[in-house]
């Protein structure tokens, strides 16, 4: 009698991948990053277990968007106080905090629970081409 294999978190082996965001479209890049963070590229994928890998995104400041999103896409945050709604356009956010654009897009594609928050912690985004994770020997991610 064959038994069904169930992935356990102790059995997960994590890799490190580097993705260059220069010239890539924001949403398409974010969906690939979320795919890796969730572990859907692995045969032992399980929706209830964090089997994903670590992802390093470099050149976040050189991300590409289509249409007029630079001026029309607006990010909102609310302090909780009356009149405390803050808004910033994509163009301004890319100037001030280019890493937050990718982080925000990827977070929206992950599960909204403890598991999703744990997956999100495996993402590192850097505005320039340098990253301090050479000791982890990250591999270049090739799109599948």
Cβ neighbours for 101, distance < 8 A, ≥ 6 positions apart? 26, 60, 63, 90, 93, 94
Query: Which strands sit side by side in the sheet containing 139-140, from one edge to the other?
Result: 123-125, 54-58, 16-20, 139-140
- Which pLDDT belongs to residue 144? 66
Mean pLDDT for the chain?
95
Domain ranges of the chain: 14-64+97-132
**pLDDT(116) > 90:** yes
Q: What is the β-pairing status of strands 123-125 and 85-89?
A: unpaired
Residue 143 reports pLDDT greater than 80: no
Supply the pLDDT for residue 142: 84
pLDDT above 70: percentage of residues in the chain = 99
DSSP string, 96-133: H-HHHHHHHHHHTTS-SSHHHHHHHTTEEE-SSS--S-
Answer whether residue 132 shows pLDDT above 90: yes
Give the pLDDT band (50/70/90) at residue 28. very high
- Separation of alpha carbons 124 and 120, rounded Å: 9
Please tell me the pTM assigned to this model: 0.93
Beta bridge pairs of residue 19: 57
Could you tell me the maximum CA-CA distance found in the chain, to the nearest angstrom? 64
pLDDT of 32 > 90? The answer is: yes
Q: What is the mean pLDDT of residues 6-17?
A: 92
CATH topology of domain 14-64+97-132: Ribosomal Protein L13p; Chain: A; (3.90.1180)
Strand partners, 139: 17
**Tell me: the pLDDT tens digits for 58-87?**
999 999 999 999 999 999 999 999 999 999
């Amino acid at each position: 009698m064959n038994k069904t294999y169930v992935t356990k978190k102790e059995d997960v082996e994590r890799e490190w991948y580097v993705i260059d965001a220069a010239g890539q479209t924001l949403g398409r890049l974010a969906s690939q990053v979320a795919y890796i963070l969730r572990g859907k590229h692995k045969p032992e994928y399980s929706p209830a277990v964090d089997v994903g890998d670590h992802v390093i995104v470099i050149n976040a400041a050189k991300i590409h968007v289509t249409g007029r999103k630079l001026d029309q896409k607006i990010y909102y945050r609310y302090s909780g106080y009356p009149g405390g709604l803050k808004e910033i356009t994509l163009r301004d956010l890319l100037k001030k905090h280019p890493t937050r654009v990718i982080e925000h897009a990827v977070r929206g594609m992950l599960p909204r629970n403890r598991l999703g928050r744990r997956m999100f912690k495996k993402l590192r985004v850097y505005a320039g081409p340098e990253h301090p994770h050479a000791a982890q020997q990250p591999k270049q991610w090739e799109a599948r």
